[in-house]
Chain A
């Protein structure tokens, strides 16, 4: 009796263990995953959760689904800054979403990744006709390319500009910033409006992204024309000194300000000016702030205007996707004139379609017009491995200069050396 029980236990255990293998064997008898999921799309959106942008995007997906009822779309929200890492892990496990929104300065981090020789993203060049390609701003299209391959379908662009609280300017009796403002005007206005709980300016001092605009105003650039690292080139050290002094010397920026505190200070009416992008504009206007937008000022010392880095966002298709045709169809819809125009008017998402640059409705929106004007004065974010590395390297230089461990020149020279090594 006992041996019979033992045998039964062994058989039951083996059956239990083999159950896990049965699902795989279904593929072998014809129920392939392709057939099962031919009309299913998984999208990672990377929009700020519960933002107006996300709501607009979900509406667009829903509209597309009405035109394609046979397709089931699952949208998964991923935090923007962790999405690339999450995508890499998912893709290496064979679980990449069909579509994901990337920023072009992130592409340098994901495009070189190879899994057994295969890239993680589909090269979209063969998928598009010249007529389809011709609708986008050529700079936006070029920004979506890495090593020649088209990694994503461009959908929007953004850059920072100067936001100001009109009420605080009125209270102080200072005229609003305009296109002739210099950094001297900017500094004096900020100093005048800094007292008590209120600050004249709120910026995340240690955030390289916003510093790029001042750097270009001082004549600096991140890379040379031939693509070599140039963090310590013309004027960059002066730009970093001026930037840090806004907090350390002039004390018009509060210690430890980060993006979130900048947003909160502006929302609570405690910051007269901030340097921010259109993606936060709906939040500020929804809070009933009397908010204005102006071009970034001209640098007094050089006569050059602060020029922000323009980032382009686009929809990339997974190399592993078994529904590429459907995924590209949805990406093209999300980048279409109708959807882009709606997104621009509703959520200040700046379009990349050439025909919308001169659209009457878009131009009649003062803020949107201002953002587009600012973007036209910017420089495109480089789509390279070096650009992705800059976000890891520059904070070290800024930190060293901030605490006085190194001069701004020495810190940037060290950062440049490190960047060169990373790019080698």
Chain B
């Protein structure tokens, strides 16, 4: 009985006795974020064994200690996984990176029995609460010692700063204040005028226009002179006209510009032509006019992305169109075919709006003009040429301009139908890409934000130039007034 008592006592006391051969130091600031550096000194260790780290009772990692040579084991670069370890046989004067086996297991090698130091950076350590660290030393058969201590990681997590909106707020505030001041001055200057309150009515709309339209355009223009890229947002630098040079010299620029113009003119001509013709037809005395009008309005009433996806399905090789034709044609495979298809779908989508707008204008033409002409024996064609068309002009000219700008910048039809494909040119716009869909690719697929801004400015200038020339040429504004 006595013997059993001594044996049990020995088993319990053994770790405590052996623990004297271990010394553990921890440093929470030396290793870095979520890490604690632990240094262990083992006195007069001989043979093979292992050193285990347990954090909050869960096994963390271990170092296998071997008396002998490292052989072909590697010493990975420090920082590979942040759980770096070093060994020293001269009481920590010189440290050597630890060796690791293929599976990453750390191995400490030494030659003769001596004081062995092992230093490890333990990862995954909490910063918010203290953890219990248990360092356990084993030889090949039993635990030789154990030391418990508490550790906590002290390096704080560095969060990226929130998006810096202050320059934007400052710019918007400055613009708003300047405009308010300017309007205030104009009002003061006009203080004797009857219309001085008019400025106050105009101010909110003008403010909204400047802040929501002019400011983003100006910002885009500024961005177009930088090397902004998604891999270096916030660190962009001025690069002069480099982006513009890239735009004009990029492969496919003329091709995409040409198709954009074809796309826009074809669509606008058909929108106005078919829309106008349908509006005139519906102007006649036709039975079920309301039903026709409602039916013709449907493409406009359905959300365009739904219509486009329905068309995409119908033109699929197994879609309705092929089923009706008894063919298996891929309507979007060839460039010309795909271009024709996207234009057709957009014509279908745009006609109802023009029809409704022209229909409204037609109704505003006084009926007695037509009746007077009829009495005078004027033919239908002559009435159309000399009464209807001239009186429609004030409506149709701005409508066509609006249609031109909308169609030039129409994104969703092409994006959803073909996504710019078929793509036959490496690094260039696809067969059905127009300027606006290609800009999307440059900005959001390639991440070249500065270049995309330059493309956008080019588009903007083109539209401005066209609008100016068109308005001047057609005297649209005067006509409306």
Verify that A and B bind, or say they do not.
Answer: yes
A234 within 8 Å of B by Cβ? no
Tell which of A211-219, A276-284, A375-383, A394-402 binds the partner.
A394-402
Main secondary structure of the interface of B (DSSP, over half): loop
A29 within 8 A of B: no
Contact status B33-A129, CB under 8 Å: no
Asked if A241 CB lies within 8 Å of chain B CBs, one says no
B334 CB-CB contact with A under 8 Å: yes
Contact A129/B123 with A148-B80, A254-B318 known, Cβ cut-off 8 Å = yes
Complex alpha-carbon distance, A392 and B423, angstroms: 10
A185 to B122, CA, bound (A): 56
Q: Closest chain B residue to A418 by CB distance?
A: B426
**What total of chain A residues lie within 8 Å of the partner, measured CB to CB?**
49
B329 proximity list for chain A (CB < 8 A) = 255
Complex CA distance for A316 and B421, rounded to whole angstroms: 32
In angstroms, Cα B447 to Cα A112, docked, is: 11
CB pair B317–A92 under 8 Å, yes or no, is no
Complex interface: stretch among A44-52, A120-128, A340-348, A363-371? A120-128
Q: Is B124 an interface residue (CB 8 A)?
A: yes
Residue pair A117, B234 in contact (C-beta under 8 Å): yes
B235 at the interface (CB under 8 A from A): yes
Q: Are A116 and B160 in contact (CB under 8 A)?
A: yes
Tell me the A367-424 residues at the B interface (CB within 8 Å).
Answer: 392-393, 395-397, 399-400, 402-403, 405, 414-415, 417-418, 421
Is A4 part of the contact surface with B, judged by Cβ < 8 Å? no
Query: Cβ of A405: which chain B residues have Cβ within 8 Å of it?
Result: 424
In the bound complex, what is the Cα–Cα distance between A45 and B433 (angstroms)?
A: 31
Contact of B233 with A114 in the complex, beta carbons under 8 Å:
yes
| Contact in complex: B316, A256 (CB < 8 Å) | yes
Kindly state whether residue B55 has any CB partner on chain A within 8 Å.
yes
Residues of B within 8 Å of A324, CB to CB, are 157
Interface residues of B in 408-436 (CB under 8 A from A): 421-427
Do residues A418 and B59 form an inter-chain contact, with CB atoms below 8 A?
no
Minimum C-beta distance from B269 to chain A (A): 30
What CA separation (Å) do A75 and B389 show in the bound complex?
Answer: 58
B104 located at the interface, meaning its Cβ lies under 8 Å from any Cβ of chain A in the complex: yes
Q: Is B231 part of the binding interface, using a Cβ–Cβ cutoff of 8 Å? A: yes
CB of A224 within 8 A of chain B?
no
Query: A115: CB under 8 A from chain B?
Result: yes
Which listed residue (A114, A125, A133, A392) contacts B231, Cβ 8 A?
Answer: A114
The A interface, classified by DSSP as helix, strand, loop or mixed, is helix
Which residues of B129-182 have CB atoms within 8 Å of chain A's CB atoms? 157, 159-164
- Whether A138 is near chain B, meaning CB under 8 Å from some CB there, is yes
B242 at the interface (CB under 8 A from A): no
Residues of A within 8 A of B83 (CB): 129-130
**Cβ of A94 under 8 Å from chain B:** yes
Whether A63 sits at the interface, judged by CB under 8 Å, is no
A-B contact count (CB 8 A): 122
Bound-complex Cα distance A125 to B334 (A) = 49
Contact yes or no, A126 B104, CB < 8 A: no
For residue A85, CB closer than 8 A to chain B, the reply is yes
Which B273-288 residues sit within 8 Å CB-CB of chain A?
Answer: none
Nearest-Cβ distance from residue B77 to partner chain A, whole angstroms: 9
B34 within 8 A of A: yes
Chain A nearest CB, measured from B428 CB (Å):
9
Among A116, A129, A403, contact of B161 (Cβ-Cβ < 8 Å): A116
CA of A320 to CA of B157 in the docked complex: distance in angstroms? 10
Q: Which residues of B lie under 8 Å from residue A397 when comparing CB positions?
A: 426
Assuming the contacts A113-B447, A254-B328, asked whether A126 and B35 have C-beta atoms less than 8 A apart, the reply is yes
CB distance from B219 to the nearest CB of A (A): 15
Is B188 at the interface (CB under 8 A from chain A)?
A: no
Known A-B contacts A254-B328, A403-B334; the reply to A138 vs B103 at CB < 8 A is yes
Provide the bound-state CA to CA distance between A4 and B436, in Å: 51
CA distance A421 to B428 in the complex (A): 13
Contact (Cβ within 8 A) B318 A130:
no
Q: Which residue of B lies closest to A397 (CB)?
A: B426
Which of A117, A118, A129, A418 is close to B122, meaning CB atoms less than 8 Å apart?
A: A129
Residues of B within 8 A of A392 (CB): 445
Contact status A130-B60, CB under 8 Å: yes
| CB-contacts of B435-473 with A (<8 A) | 444-445, 447
Q: Determine if A256 and B423 form an interchain contact, defined as CB atoms under 8 angstroms apart.
A: no
Chain B residue numbers with a CB within 8 Å of A93 are 163
Contact with A along B1-44 (1 / 0, CB 8 A): 00000000000000000000000000000001111000000000
Cβ-defined contact, A88 with B230, below 8 A = yes
B333 within 8 A of A: yes
Q: Are A399's CB and B61's CB within 8 A?
A: no
Question: In the bound complex, how far is the Cα of B32 from the Cα of A254, in angstroms?
Answer: 58
The chain A residue with its CB closest to the CB of B106 is A130
What is the CB-to-nearest-CB distance from A126 to chain B, in angstroms, rounded to a whole number? 4
| Bound Cα distance A155, B83 (Å) | 22
Q: Is A325 an interface residue (CB 8 A)?
A: yes
**B61-A131 in contact (CB<8A):** yes
Contact A399 B163 (CB under 8 A): no
**A-B contacts, 14 listed (Cβ < 8 Å):** A94-B162, A113-B230, A115-B160, A115-B233, A115-B234, A125-B82, A126-B32, A126-B34, A129-B58, A129-B61, A129-B124, A134-B103, A134-B104, A138-B103
